[in-house]
Structure formats: C-alpha cells, structure tokens
Amino acid sequence: MAIVPNKALPPTTVVDWDRSDNYHNSHLLQKDQALEFTVQNSEANGLPDIAVSPAQGKFLSLLAKSIGAKRILEVGTLGGYSSIHLARALPDDGKLVTLELKEHHAKIATENITKAGVVSKVNVIIGPALASLQKMASEPKFDFVFIDADATNLLNYFTESKRLVRKGGVIVVDNVVQNGCVGNPADTSERAAGVRKLISALKDDDEVEATTIGTAGEKGYDGFLYAIRK
C-alpha cells in the first residue's frame, strides 16, 4: 500500500535510487568478495556493465530459494553475476544451466563462477540461446527460469521456457520496463518492441499467470516480469 500518493511527490532521479539502494544494501547485504571479484574481473575484461544490481541478484536468489528450486535455467550469462546468485540458491545437488552467445563472456563467467565456488553446480552453454533451448529435452523440468538476453527473441525464449519449466515453476524476465519506454507507444526501439511482443502475447496466454513489477535502483528504472507456469 502506498502511504503517500506518489503522484503528489516531486520526481526522483537515479541519484535518489542509487542512494536508496546503498542504504538498503548496507543493512541487508553482506560484503561479498566473490561478487566484487566478478564485477572487477568482468570490467577488466571489457564486459559491459549490464548485469543485475546487487539487490536484484539477491532478490532473484531469494525467489529461487523460496520455491526450493533444484534446477534453474538462465538465458544470458554475461560475466556470471546473476548466475552466481542463482547457483547459491541451489542445494548441493542442484543445477544451473546458463546460456551465452559470446565465448569471451562465457570464459570470464566461468572464471568468476569458479572463484565463487559454485562451478560444480553450473553448466555454461555457448551459442545462440534459442538454438540451445530448442535442443533441450523437455525432461527433467526446470523449477525456475531467468531470461536476461536480447529482447528480439524474448517471446521465443519465453515459449521455450514454458516447455522446459514444471507446472508451478517460475519464469522471470528482466528489462521489461526500460525506463518506461516499453509502455510508451512513441518509442520505436527494437528492444522495447521485443518486450511488447511478449507482453501482448501474454494477454491471451492461459498457460501462465504473470505480472510486471517496476524497479528503480542504481541501475536505473526498469522492471521484472514474474510468471508462474500453470
């Protein structure tokens, strides 16, 4: 419940969201050498700064843990920052399969995942994610899917994820708000169009129940789609 109607307040900017993330993180998140190494090693090796934020990574980990996920699928590895969070949610015999187009990203991710001590639970698959997904057997099912790659293929990734996730399993999609661009018909970017294609398909999709939750933080204003497979 909003205590103060937000529309009555002055607008905030990324400076406020960044300060707010820092405040909450300073109380709720532990210092984490493996994740700090991941950020530094990814930057040193030229990877773009487009991983989820520390709070978002922890949130994904908590979501996966809260459904007792034993098998997790990730689309879009980058340097393995979110992969490490997700792998940590798994029990010792759990498995994270993460899909990445670029060999260089996968190499750095493997270094980071190894440094974090979770490499035994992680399988990084290199190649176009859609082809990798289409090759995957429908069994055993995944409990949790995190989609965070190119928006052009989003609907295809989501469709394959529905095939691969168990009933009651969860599919989370990142970057579905994009600073409000997705909901702005004047925006003509391919990135926003890819998300709109997914969102409009979900209108008549009776195989999932879904909602979008906006996020504002150190990485800007964006949002996650959260869907449960029926």
Q: Which residues of the shown chain bind ligand SAM in the complex (CB under 6 A)?
A: 50-52, 76-78, 81-82, 99-102, 105, 128-129, 148-150, 153
Report the residue number, 58 or 168, with the smaller CB distance to ligand SAM.
58
Query: 167-196: string of b/e by CB count within 10 Å (b at 16+)?
Result: eebbbbbbbbbbeebbbeeeeeeeebebbb
Residue 102 token pair: 């670029």
In the complex, what is the shortest distance from the CB of residue 204 to ligand SAM, in angstroms, rounded to a whole number? 26
Instruction: Using alpha carbons, select from 17, 94, 81 the residue that is nearest to residue 54.
Output: 81
**140 class by beta-carbon count within 10 Å (0-12 exposed, 13-18 middle, 19+ buried):** exposed
Question: What minimum distance in Å lies between the beta carbon of 18 and ligand SAM?
Answer: 18
- Rounded to a whole number of angstroms, the minimum distance from the CB of residue 183 to ligand SAM is 20
| CA nearest to 47, candidates 96, 126, 120, 112 | 112
Q: Shortest distance, CB of residue 61 to ligand SAM, whole angstroms?
A: 12
Q: How far apart are CA 108 and CA 127, in angstroms?
A: 15
User: How far apart are CB 188 and ligand SAM at their closest, in Å?
Assistant: 21
Taken in order 198, 204, 207, 209, is the CA torsion positive or negative? positive
- The smaller minimum CB distance to ligand SAM, of residues 129 and 177, is found at 129
By beta-carbon proximity to ligand SAM, the closer residue of 76 and 94 is 76
- Whether the CB-CB separation of 84 and 112 falls below 8 Å is answered with yes
Nearer to ligand SAM, 53 or 212 (CB): 53
How many angstroms separate the CA atoms of 23 and 21, rounded? 5
Looking at the Cβ atoms of 12 and 189, the one nearer to ligand SAM is: 189
